[in-house]
Amino acid sequence: MQCPNCGSGNCQVQLVEQGQQTNKKGVGFGGHMNNAARTTTAVATFGMSNLLWKKSRGTNKTKTVNTTMGICQDCGSTWRIKKGGFGAAPGSIFK
Ligand SMILES: [Zn+2]
């Protein structure tokens, strides 16, 4: 994996929670702030917070949309690798 910004190979890959599909109503300023804060926290802790969030949500019906992100350890830039992928479990598991 190479950083598209500086070309360094010192990069990490992580799954970032991008949002929820069933939560379209009422997602205003606060919702966006929450998502932004969550993503920022996830990046800052390299995904540890995402694990806690997923556990605490337990039986929710919301389908989370995950994105695989690359993080450069040298210049700190992040970039999206692909949507979905591993971690995008079938919804039936959470019902
Ligand atoms: Zn870089």
CB atoms within 10 A of CB 42: 20
- Choose between 19 and 76: higher pLDDT: 76
CA of 26 to the centre of ligand 1 (A): 37
pTM exceeding 0.85: no
pLDDT at site 17? 80
- Choose between 19 and 14: higher pLDDT: 14
CA of 69 to the centre of ligand 1 (A): 13
Residue 84 has pLDDT above 50, yes or no: no
pLDDT digits 0-9 by tens, 38-83? 677 767 666 665 665 555 555 556 777 888 889 999 999 999 886 5
Interatomic CA distance for residues 7 and 30, integer angstroms: 36
CA of 23 to the centre of ligand 1 (A): 34
CA of 2 to the centre of ligand 1 (A): 8
Q: Which two tokens stand for residue 21?
A: 């599909």
| DSSP character at residue 86 | T
CA of 3 to the centre of ligand 1 (A): 5
Interatomic CA distance for residues 79 and 68, integer angstroms: 9
